[in-house]
Amino acid sequence: MEKKMVEVCYTPKDYEYFKGRFEIVVVIDVLRATSAICSALNNGVSAVIPVSTIDEAKTYQEKGYLVGAERQGEIVEGFDFGNSPYSYMKPELKGKEIVLSTTNGTRAINIAQEADQVIIGSLVNLEAITNYLIRQNKNVLCLCSGWKDKFNLEDTICGGAISETLINSGNFSSDEDSSVAAKYLYMSAKDNYMGFLKSSSHRRRLKRLNLNKDIKYCLTPNQIDLIPTLQNGKIVKLNN
């Protein structure tokens, strides 16, 4: 059987150099958007509508939706919640469609939307994602959300974890140096994500905002056994 490709793209800005060659794009924003989306669906939210701008978020709010909005790690004034995975565990959100706009994660999801399939990955659902991808036998791109179009460590490590697991299955290979480097970062970090990421810039940013509890949640792998996927502009649970 011919091997499929798995590659890691570090930022939404670099996506143009990869797009079109991969049937499945896994969008990753470990701190915190894709972890928060996993938390929301795991806690019974029926769909998350990702929007890129605050203006779009306001339009949904005016229509009566509950809307989460984050910029620079903080809740944007006037919205119902921000981007903490814990905000999405509230019983009143069960069964609801909600809207989310974040600095990088929701933008990356929307940039990838022309792919055949977009799925949402993070450390919290790492094993669910890799088991699913191994069964699909399709070319996979891990698209890191980064920070304002710059490289970040935590998304790259998660991309490295996905690509390394797929390659170890024997059915995938990768070509790009970005993927090789992501693998080496993952191998250095995998025994202690919290420790390895101590110096990452976004972890420091969130720590300054007293969001240590969120950081711990987002860096604890394999707590959620579901795969969020983008369908007609809404992120829903994949029935696999």
Q: Which residues bind ligand 3SL (CB under 6 A)?
A: 29, 31-33, 70, 73, 83, 102-105, 145, 206
Alpha carbon of 228 to those of 44, 46, 71, 118: distances in Å? 12, 11, 23, 9
- What is the rounded CA–CA span in Å between residue 174 and residue 94? 40
Q: Which is nearer to ligand 3SL, 105 or 159 (CB)?
A: 105
Closest separation in Å from C-beta 116 to ligand 3SL: 24
Do residues 191 and 19 touch, judged by C-beta distance below 8 A?
no
Q: Which is nearer to ligand 3SL, 85 or 166 (CB)?
A: 85
Q: Which is nearer to ligand 3SL, 93 or 166 (CB)?
A: 93
Closest separation in Å from C-beta 83 to ligand 3SL: 3
Q: Which residues pair with 67 in a beta bridge?
A: 99
Q: Which is nearer to ligand 3SL, 210 or 239 (CB)?
A: 210
Name the residue with tokens 């990869």.
Answer: 18
Alpha carbon of 233 to those of 33, 50, 103, 191: distances in Å? 16, 7, 18, 36
Closest separation in Å from C-beta 133 to ligand 3SL: 22
Closest separation in Å from C-beta 152 to ligand 3SL: 9
Look at residues 210, 217, 206, 207 and name the one whose alpha carbon lies nearest to residue 73: 206
Q: Which is nearer to ligand 3SL, 70 or 164 (CB)?
A: 70
Closest separation in Å from C-beta 102 to ligand 3SL: 3
**Residue at 63: amino acid letter:** K
